[in-house]
């Protein structure tokens, strides 16, 4: 509890300093210290921007193997966009719509008043959304399905399947073997999926809802269960920023 309140005090002081110093003290594409920490677990601006750019570069590479190029997508969706650190690496010119959605109202309000050329919308934690079916040519989700329980996972996979256009592509990042080895975590993955609940409800350092915990997947599980919603095009271990596994899926 002490560590939680110490962190909140630190973030409040940084936010006050930033307010007094003015926005010239940092890039306009970087949100307040609390929002930075929420998605990055740090207030390091360089790291925040880099961890937004690397996933987008990672998405571009496996897309080429599918014959789909992001520049050809008319409508794109960042599912779980947070404060927009990935979507801001996409040039909105040449696309009909580049959109981000998230359950974090604070992050969405910041996005709506900052990165130009994009559209942002707040959504509820559970589907459906108000977005049109069959609309998006490319949907990607970075560090979203890495944190959802199995019931929410399947609910959102179904919703994304509805939102995806015919011949559309969906790319998602997952916690895989490399992530578990890197963290030194001995997790029983016999069932292919594990949801690790920290049991921390009210004083979560990330400031995110209590259901947002830690989800672990295996390649076998994804091929068996996610194929109920999509055609699996490819599975690239460490395919997102050399850290998360990437699963590339197409509308069945």
For residue 9, pLDDT beyond 90: no
- Over residues 28-51, mean pLDDT: 82
Segment 185-207, tens digit of pLDDT: 889 999 999 999 876 665 566 66
The predicted structure's pLDDT at residue 11: 43
38 close to 82: Cβ distance less than 8 angstroms = yes
In CATH, the architecture of 44-251 is: 3-Layer(aba) Sandwich (3.40)
The predicted structure's pLDDT at residue 21: 56
The tokens describing 45, both together, are: 């601006």
Domain boundaries, the chain: 44-251
CA-to-CA distance for 78 and 83, rounded, in angstroms?
11
Segment 42-57, tens digit of pLDDT: 778 888 889 899 999 9
Percent helix / strand / coil, the chain, rounded to 5 = 40, 25, 40
First to last CA, the chain: 47
For residue 23, pLDDT beyond 80: no
pTM over 0.85: yes
The tokens describing 145, both together, are: 């399905």
Segment 161-190, tens digit of pLDDT: 999 999 999 999 999 999 999 888 889 999
Per cent of the chain over pLDDT 70 is 86
Segment 115-153, tens digit of pLDDT: 788 999 999 999 999 999 999 999 999 999 999 999 999
């Amino acid at each position: 509890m002490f560590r939680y309140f110490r962190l909140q005090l630190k973030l409040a002081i940084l936010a006050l300093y930033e307010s007094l110093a003015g926005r010239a003290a940092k890039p306009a594409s970087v949100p307040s210290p609390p929002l930075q920490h929420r998605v990055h677990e740090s207030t390091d601006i360089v790291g925040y921007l880099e961890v937004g750019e690397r996933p987008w570069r990672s998405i571009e590479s496996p897309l080429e193997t599918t014959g789909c190029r992001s520049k050809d997508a008319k409508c794109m969706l960042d599912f779980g966009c947070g404060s927009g650190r990935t979507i801001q690496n996409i040039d909105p010119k040449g696309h009909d719509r580049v959109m981000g959605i998230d359950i974090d109202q604070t992050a969405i309000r910041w996005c709506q008043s900052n990165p130009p050329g994009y559209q942002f919308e707040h959504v509820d934690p559970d589907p459906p959304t108000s977005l049109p079916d069959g609309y998006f040519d490319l949907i990607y989700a970075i560090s979203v399905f890495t944190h959802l329980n199995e019931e929410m996972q399947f609910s959102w996979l179904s919703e994304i399947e509805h939102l995806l256009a015919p011949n559309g592509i969906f790319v998602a990042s997952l916690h895989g073997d490399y992530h578990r080895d890197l963290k030194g975590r001995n997790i029983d993955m016999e069932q292919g999926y594990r949801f690790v609940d920290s049991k921390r409800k009210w004083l979560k350092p990330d400031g995110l809802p209590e259901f947002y915990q830690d989800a672990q997947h295996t390649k076998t599980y994804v091929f068996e269960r996610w194929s109920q919603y999509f055609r699996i095009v490819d599975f690239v271990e460490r395919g997102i920023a050399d850290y998360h596994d990437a699963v590339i899926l197409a509308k069945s």
